[in-house]
Amino acid sequence: MPSADNRIDRRDWGLLVLLSVLWGGSFFFNGVILRELPPLTLVLLRVVLGTIILLPLLRAARIEFPRGLSGWAPFAAMGLFNNVLPFALIVFGQTYIPSGLASILNATTPLFTVIVMAAAGEERLQARRVAGVLVGLIGVAILHGDALGFKSRQGIGILLCLAGAFSYGLAALVGRRLPQRLPPLGTATFQMIASAVLMAPIAAVVDRPWLLPMPHATTWLAVLGLAALSTALAYIVFFQILQRSGATNVMLVTLLIPVTAMLLGYLVLGEPIALREVLGALVIASALLLIDGRVLAWFSRGPASTPHTIR
């Protein structure tokens, strides 16, 4: 259970760093795979292999499958908004922009989550959060740079990645409708199964993957890394942090992912890091901290009066 004072212990800080590497690595893996495979086939392989990896764990935990269409419906919705749409949109976006920039745009997810939750009446829209959203939009504008009309290839990629982040915001709303008593491993696995079922006919019609040339070993290694590390293992780590420290704390990982992804893209893929991208990332990080609110509380109360807020 999350602690009463929103404290993150050393173990969860370590898990947050690990999760940032796993999810930041997904942008790196995507960059490698897209050299030989089309986007929809990439997404299909990710969700299918991720499902195959999670199923034995589900069996070992003796978690029962949902019954009937009504039982599977919430997981189908979660799979659509949390996997199929954002995975596809972000991967398509990465065909236009570097993986590091895509990861920065993905960090706008909490901004869209605030808007979606407020529009649905799930959370009160506080002034602090409104200010955070506005600062976040300024950060995105800085990232967008000179392509003010969204006419350039980079502009298309930015729009696609922002649409993916918006889909994650919708997934946060859908997640509140999921069965609350189901163990996190069950939620992760069932949404992955639904994602695979939804993705298979789309990839089959558009890409016809059986006609594609066989990828090289490097691509297959990236596919396995994407499915095993950035999907299956990442979900397990994510839900463990969620159970122990709560949703607010686990969202801090979005501050770390762009750094990991940009460094991997720079060191392995040779992607350049522009000064504008660094500045945009810092502005977006400031927006997320503003939305989170704990930094403001720390300064208003003073460090001596809040020794256990975050450690």
**pLDDT of the chain, 311 residues: tens digit per residue:** 444 444 566 787 788 889 888 988 888 899 899 999 999 999 999 999 999 999 999 999 999 999 889 899 999 999 999 999 999 999 999 999 887 788 888 878 877 887 888 888 776 767 777 787 778 778 777 766 654 444 567 888 989 999 999 998 898 888 877 877 788 889 889 999 999 999 999 999 999 999 999 999 999 999 999 999 999 998 888 777 766 766 556 666 766 777 777 777 778 778 787 788 788 878 877 877 776 666 666 666 655 554 443 33
pLDDT of residue 308: 42
pLDDT of residue 116: 86
pLDDT of residue 151: 54
- Enter the pTM of the model: 0.80
pLDDT of residue 126: 73
Neighbouring CB atoms inside 10 A of 308's CB total: 9
pLDDT of residue 189: 93
